[in-house]
Structure 1
Amino acid sequence: MSTTPAQQLRDLLQRTPLLLMPACFDALSAKLIEQAGFPAVFMSGFGVSASRLGLPDTGLISYGEMLNQGQNICAAVKIPVLGDGDTGYGNAINVKRTVKGYAQAGFACVMLEDQVAPKRCGHTQGKQVVGREEAFTRIQAAVEARKEGQDILIMARTDARATEGLDEAIFRAQTFATLGADITFLEAPQSIEEMQAYCQQVQGYKMANMVEQGKTPYLTPAELQAIGYHLVAYPLTLLNVSILAMQQALQHLKNGQQPEQLLSFTTLKEVVGFTAYYQEEERYPQK
Structure 2
Amino acid sequence: MHSKPQNDPTLKPSRRRFIESAGAVTGAAFATAAIPGRATAAQPSGGDSPGARFRQLLGGDDPPYCVNCGDVATARLAEMHGFQIVMTGGSALSFSKYGIGDFGMITMDDLVEFCGRTADRIATPIIADADDGGGNPLNVYRTVQRMEKAGAACVMIEDLYGAKHLAGYDEGKILGREAMVDKVHAAVDARRDDDLVLLVRSDVVADGGPLEDALERVTSYAEAGGDLIFVPGIPLDQCRRAVEMAGKPILTGAPSLAAARDAGVGVLFV
| Distance in 2 of aligned mates of 1:224 and 1:38 | 16
**What SS class does the counterpart of residue 164 from structure 1 fall into?**
coil
> Kindly, what percent of the aligned residue pairs are identical?
27
The residue that corresponds to 2:110 in the other structure is 65
> Residue 150 of structure 1: CA displacement?
6.6
The residue identity in structure 2 corresponding to 1:45 is G
**Given the alignment of the two structures, is residue 101 of structure 1 paired with residue 137 of structure 2, yes or no?**
no
Q: Residues 200-219 of structure 1: CA distance to partner in whole angstroms, max 9, x if unpaired?
A: 433111111x3xxxxxxx52
Is the contact between residue 42 and residue 233 of structure 1 (CA under 8 Å) also seen in structure 2?
no
Per-residue deviation, residues 212-269 of structure 1 (Å, max 9, x unmatched)? xxxxxx52121112111110112xxxxxxxxxxxxxxxxxxxxxxxxxxxxxxxxxxx
The within-5 A match list for 1:88-167 is: 88-120=133-165, 127-146=172-191, 148-149=192-193, 152-161=196-205, 162-167=207-212
Alpha-carbon distance in structure 2 between the residues aligned to 1:68 and 1:150: 22
Helix, strand or coil: the match of 1:61?
coil
What is the identity, as a one-letter code, of the residue corresponding to 2:248? G
The match for 2:15 is none
Change (3 A) 1:9 1:204: same
Q: Secondary structure at the match of 1:160?
A: coil
- Cα distance in 1 between the residues matched to 2:119 and 2:61: 22
Partner of 2:58 in structure 1? 13
Q: 30-39 or 106-115, which moves further after superposition? A: 30-39
Tell me the amino acid that sits aligned with residue 219 of structure 1: P
1:269 corresponds in structure 2 to none
Counterpart residue identity of residue 55, structure 2: R
2:75 to 30, 35, 52: 30
State the distance in 2 between where 1:119 and 1:138 align. Answer: 19
**Alignment counterpart, residue 243 of structure 2, candidates 187, 193, 199:** 199
Matched, 1:180 2:225: yes
Cα RMSD over matched residues? Answer: 2.0
Contact 1:6–1:107 (8 Å) recurs in 2:
yes
CA distance in 2 between counterparts of 1:138 and 1:120 reads: 22
Corresponding pairs, count: 221
How far residue 16 of structure 1 moved from its aligned partner, in angstroms, is: 5.6
- Report SS of the residue matched to 2:160: coil
Matched, 1:169 2:214: yes
Partner of 1:242: none
Contact 1:86 1:119 in 2 (8 A): no
- Pick closer, same or farther for the CA change 1:68–1:150 going to 2, 3 Å: farther
User: Alpha carbons of 1:152 and 1:200: their partners in 2 closer, same or farther (altered >3 Å)?
Assistant: closer
Q: Deviations over 1:155-209 (max 9, x none)?
A: 00001123431111000111111111110111112x344334323433111111x
2:251–2:266 Cα contact (<8 Å) kept: yes
Instruction: Describe the SS at the equivalent of 1:111.
Output: strand
2:131 corresponds in structure 1 to 86
Runs of 4+ in 1 over 6 A off after TM superposition: none
Letter in 2 for 1:23: N
Q: 1:6 to 1:149 in 2, by over 3 A?
A: closer
Give TM-score scaled by structure 2 length.
0.76
Structure 2 portions without partners, runs of 5+: 1-45
Question: Structure 2 CA distance, aligned partners of 1:16 and 1:51?
Answer: 34
Cα offset for 1:138? 1.3
- The 1:26/1:203 distance shift into structure 2, 3 A limit, reads same
Match of residue 232 from structure 1: 268
Cα distance in 1, alignment partners of residues 211 and 228 from structure 2 = 18
